[in-house]
Amino acid sequence: AEVEETLKRIQAHKGVMATMVINAEGIPVRTTLDNSTTVQYAGLLHQLTVKARSTVRDLDPQNDLTFLRIRSKKHEIMIAPDKEYLLIVIQNPCE
């Protein structure tokens, strides 16, 4: 219930273009985009997350990746990775 509320609030925020929750196999659990785009994001971002996590842990195996932000010209992609899922929010912070 609280999870739902928080998710709704995040989705309703100004500038948030999309919110996605993807499970470990790349299947979208919750998404505000259409399926094909979501699947595309899921695949690409999953690989990136894995690489980022691998990098962090290679440098120090006791460390782990907690959050990933990709700032591009048009918007910002924020990823909260976990072993079982990926939480992705795309925000356009200026508009």
Partner 1 sequence: LQVFDEQGKDVTPHPLFHPDPNAAVPRQGKTLPSSARLGAAGAGLLSSFPPHQASGEDTNVGSFSSFNLTEGLNLASCNFTGVQVRPAEMKEELTEEDLERSVEVYLTETETLWMLDLPSVVVSVESEDAGRIVERNKIYADICKTRPGNDRFVEKMMQTINGAAKNKEVQCDQIVMEDKGVTVTSWDLYDSFNALEKNPASQAGGTRATTRESSQPHTTKKHHQTTPVSSDTDSTTSPTMVLESSVHEEEDCHSGAILRSDNFQQDLFFMERILMENIFQPKLAVYRQFPVLTDPDVTSDTGAAAAATEEAEEREQGKEKKDKEEQKEAFINPSVLSDGEKSPEEVVLPSLERLWSYVCDLTNGHSVSSMAWSKVNPDLLAVGYGAFDFKEQKKGLACCWSLKNPMWPERVFQCEHGVTALDFSVGRPNLLAVGMYNGSVAIYDVRSRNHAALLDSSESTNKPTGPVWQLRWVEEDRGARGAGKAERLICISADGRVTSWFVQKRLDCTDLMKIKRTEREEQKLLGMKERKREALISQQAAGMCFDFHPKDANVYLAGTEEGYIHKCSCSSTEQFLETYRGHKGPVYKVVWNPFSTEMFLSCSADWSIILWHQDSQAPVLTLNSSSAVVHDVAWSPKSVFAFAAANESRVEIWDLGGSVLNPVISCLASPGEKFTSVLFATNTDCLLVGDSKGEVSVFKLQNLAAPSTDKVQFLVRRTSEVHLK
Binding site for partner 1 (CB under 8 A): 2-3, 6-7, 9-10, 13-16, 21, 23-27, 29-30, 39, 42-43, 46-47, 50, 54, 57-58, 61-62, 67, 69, 73, 76, 78, 80, 82, 84-85, 87, 89, 91, 93-95
Q: How far is the CB of 15 from partner 1 (least distance, A)?
A: 6
28-31 sheet: strands from edge to edge:
28-31, 16-23, 85-91, 76-81, 68-71
Cα distance between residue 67 and residue 56, in whole Å: 11
Q: Decide whether 7 or 33 has the Cβ nearer to partner 1.
A: 7
Cα distance between residue 52 and residue 59, in whole Å: 11
